[in-house]
Amino acid sequence: MADLEVYKNLSPEKVERCMSVMQSGTQMIKLKRGTKGLVRLFYLDEHRTRLRWRPSRKSERAKILIDSIYKVTEGRQSEIFHRQAEGGFDPSCCFTIYHGNHMESLDLVTSNPEEARTWITGLKYLMAGISDEDSLAKRQRTHDQWVKQTFEEADKNGDGLLNIEEIHQLMHKLNVNLPRRKVRQMFQEADTDENQGTLTFEEFCVFYRMMSLRRDLYLLLLSHSDKKDHLTVEELAQFLKVEQKMNNVTTDYCLDIIKKFEVSEENKAKNVLGIEGFTNFMRSPACDVFNPLHHEVYQDMDQPLCNYYIASSHNTYLTGDQLLSQSKVDMYARVLQEGCRCVEVDCWDGPDGEPVVHHGYTLTSKILFRDVVETINKHAFVKNEFPVILSIENHCSIQQQRKIAQYLKGIFQDRLDLSSVDTGEGKQLPSPQSLKGKILVKGKKLPYHLGDDAEEGEVSDEDSADEIEDECKFKLQCNNGTTEHQVESFIRKKLESLLKESQIRDKEDPDSFTVRALLRATHEGLNAHLKQNPDVKESGKKSHGRSLMTNFGKHKQKTSKSRSKSYSTDDEEDTQQNPGQLYRLGRRRKTMKLCRELSDLVVYTNSVAAQDIVDDGTTGNVLSFSETRAHQVVQQKSEQFMIYNQKQLTRIYPSAYRIDSSNFNPLPYWNAGCQLVALNYQSEGRMMQLNRAKFKTNGNCGYVLKPQQMCKGTFNPFSGDPLPANPKKQLILKVISGQQLPKPPDSMFGDRGEIIDPFVEVEIIGLPVDCCKDQTRVVDDNGFNPVWEETLTFTVHMPEIALVRFLVWDHDPIGRDFVGQRTVTFSSLVPGYRHVYLEGLTEASIFVHITINEIYGKWSPLILNPSYTILHFLGATKNRQLQGLKGLFNKNPRHSSSESSTQYVRKRSIGDRILRRTASAPAKGRKKSKMGFQEVVEIKDLVSEATREQDGVLRRTTRSLQARPVSMPVDKSLLGALSLSASETAKDPDGKDNSLVQI
């Protein structure tokens, strides 16, 4: 946003002139792929929050939020403009608006340069204002916009007034279930002008405040004000100290709260805080569930890199799926400004000696490597100065490798110079603090035995993120006469082959590899590709025609050589003799040629394959694993893996079979101390929400310090009591009420549907022993201000890595519908009365009270888990934990039951599914019991968030108590509150006992 600074100081006259033109509307040509331009009237709404156009088949959805605009570029810079014939449009009349998570572009052409200049200036002024807002200003602005928009949408005839019938319709839309008599009474009280029977916007604001008067906050105010209707300065200070656990509360601070949040001028004069001011304060960022101090970097940043989790992106350039989507340089700018500190660049030989970036052996579009480096250089340190790791996947010839090195050195310049970096004691990695403003190149390095005079050499190519088998790659060959039908048929076969050969299951959505999803990706992407690349249809006329033909034979032994890569089969015999070797998985050993210039740019981040690991004290190695390989290591050798991660970096990336860009569950790899867990940032969903929550703490700088226990020593993350000597945290969470909870986003009837029946589910996500969930009862017919007043209690063994996930559901006769969520790191929770705002929803929140206690003594592991013997305290497992690094990667793996059990999937009838959903819905008016819960083996549904069994059938936790939950106090169990037989003990999908106490 640095280029927006100049727009903040525009003269008021110029700003108003731009706003007037934009709000009046301008006819422009909207360019689209594969079609002629469409003439539309574009205008800025009266609140200056949305860009709209008409006519449009999207109707109300034809809008772009100013908040969602990433950047505005002048001239013919976008891909769509580049496809237009030269001279087709005057560049001074063209501009592009990039918006949304996928960097969608809106390409517009005005009738004259002055109009284009006005729109560019006006949009950048609005963007600059938003970028400079503090959290309180943004909260107030979004609230005011929401109220105004609510009024306008309720005003069906557009006369600027609301009658009683429109108010009743609005009540239903807002999920308010009040008696019509009560609504009419408030309506009449708010209707004070001469025009009786209707409400103006100002009168509606009064009506809305009456309707929004919260009983829970009013009772809270009374309880701390000696039953008065206001708080004095002294009473407010006492409330902040005692309930909100705030330190250094001064009189001036309290007076400032009254000045900012009190509505009544009379109360301001008396220096007291009334109910409206108190409500405004409690709903402000000052009383958010997230610790405001954690919006800044607060952790120690002087430890070695291996002591930090590092926000990492996979195939950063892609905007969608892995096969057919667009590659865009702007994706690098977007993820870097979101806090990502490790980005991936797949480099391939391009035309005219210029290396390009795209997903190899697929139909994803190509972008120039030079453009990628320039974008990274421009945006890497805009919001924070901590180092960026450039993960280079090199598939280029020696000539183009030299071009890559030339661009890296020429564009990054001294940002690549690490000669002055302090590495601290011994051979340890440097710290993020010492690497500020630096860019680390992660890639292959020539072996030391070659000597410094060797210009090139061969290196291992086994840790490439491109893991699709040779038989499953799109081969580029010269073959004339390729038709559209042949291409589509070929891709369809490829997708089906990927589906059959995939050996993994998405830990969140086992349906992500279904034929339906694959074919949808095929049709959408293929059509776009064929329109954009007419040369595919006419390849017979092109000298470089492409034919996507290949051999589908199963693992045929081939030996092929090119100028850039050579493939050796020497290791294949070793693999056959020792088929269980983790790192090979039946693959041929591949090598590639690497030039000295590129090798020398790699300093602390040398990419190595598992078989190349030697316990020689070397630092600076980065081990890369796909999720499938990493899963085996974590399951079988988690403690040794943790020891390795105390000195070196490990990168985990999604399986190549996740062609829809779905994400795996990062939690097991974080639990093993893996630093670079790379996700597809373009894909929203549960996994990215967990990733976003984890890295939001510590100022969202992309580096989060690992727990000290992971940096020194070791423990078994799968143990029933992994840290017996450490105190545990007890989270006592009182779920009080909800505010403005909307209907589910995928509600069948939309706003006309029934008023929701909400309940809240709270989930702890961390070590397996800490993973559990609990939920409130259901409140009937009230999404506007439901009240639960229920207390949920959890015990957390390692709070430093735990996440707390708040979910709101709408109870349904045959299950539940997802309303919204918010995920926060346990360490960022603030005690006291707090609002939890649901992510992506303007006004929706839940009101909670948080208490966090430390638990000692009686919570010993012998009580928590009788199977935990005294041998654990005497270090009986120490020898196994401290085995050499070769043992970590080269031992024959045992096939885990969780992997083998997925080979056969039993189908269930639709009736069976419905019965299971019905039986699992929480009973209204009854308390929901908790169960032990393991995130590492639970498979989640992406849309509904419902758990699934391994056979793919939806599973709901039943009302009967099956196991003592992790969060239940032990003394209650010992008093006989819970009685279990051995047959009732809950087990996880691996067949292991998942309970901690059996009585």
Nearest-angstrom CA–CA distance, 756 and 812: 9
Query: Residue 609 in contact with residue 488, Cβ under 8 Å?
Result: no
Long-range contacts of 953-956 (CB under 8 A, 24+ apart): 953/908, 953/912, 953/913, 953/916, 954/815, 954/913, 954/916, 954/917, 954/920, 955/916, 955/920, 956/815, 956/916, 956/917, 956/919, 956/920, 956/921
352 C-beta neighbours (distance < 10 Å), count: 4
Cross-sheet strand order for the sheet of 803-812: 815-825, 803-812, 758-765, 772-775, 931-932
Kindly report the CA angle at 877 between 872 and 880, in degrees rounded to 5? 165
Query: Residue 295 in contact with residue 699, Cβ under 8 Å?
Result: yes
CA-nearest of 570, 647, 646 to 611 is: 570
Token duo for residue 332: 């690098």
Bridge partners of 69, per DSSP, are 99
**Alpha carbon 422 to its chain's center:** 33
Nearest-angstrom CA–CA distance, 197 and 188: 8
- Angle of helix 164-173 relative to helix 180-190, nearest 10 degrees, comes to 120
Quick one: which H or E segment has residue 173?
helix 164-173
Please tell me which residue in 358, 379, 529, 797 is annotated as part of the active site: 358
Token duo for residue 397: 């010839």
895 is catalytic: no
With b for 16 or more beta-carbon neighbours within 10 A and e for fewer, the 213-245 pattern comes to ebebbeebbeebbeeeebbbbebbbbbbeeebe
Nearest-angstrom CA–CA distance, 639 and 879: 11
DSSP code for 704? E
Nearest-angstrom CA–CA distance, 202 and 193: 10
Nearest-angstrom CA–CA distance, 752 and 743: 10
With b for 16 or more beta-carbon neighbours within 10 A and e for fewer, the 357-367 pattern comes to bbbbbbbbbeb
Query: Residue 264 in contact with residue 271, Cβ under 8 Å?
Result: no
C-alpha dihedral, 748 to 751 to 754 to 759, nearest 10°: 90
Nearest-angstrom CA–CA distance, 549 and 632: 34
Kindly report the CA angle at 350 between 348 and 351, in degrees rounded to 5? 170
Q: Is 877 exposed, middle or buried (0-12, 13-18, 19+ CB in 10 A)?
A: middle
Which conformational region is residue 855 in: left (phi greater than 0), alpha (psi within -120 to 50 degrees), or beta? Answer: beta
Bridge partners of 238, per DSSP, are none
Please tell me which residue in 99, 102, 230, 314 is annotated as part of the active site: 314
Cross-sheet strand order for the sheet of 590-595: 456-460, 590-595, 565-567
Nearest-angstrom CA–CA distance, 804 and 802: 7
DSSP code for 176? -
CA-nearest of 882, 897, 980, 890 to 931 is: 980
Query: Residue 148 in contact with residue 47, Cβ under 8 Å?
Result: yes
CA distance readout (Å), 300 to 303, 706, 707, 866 = 7, 11, 12, 38
Nearest-angstrom CA–CA distance, 259 and 238: 18
Nearest-angstrom CA–CA distance, 956 and 965: 16
358 is catalytic: yes
Active centre residues (catalytic): 314, 358
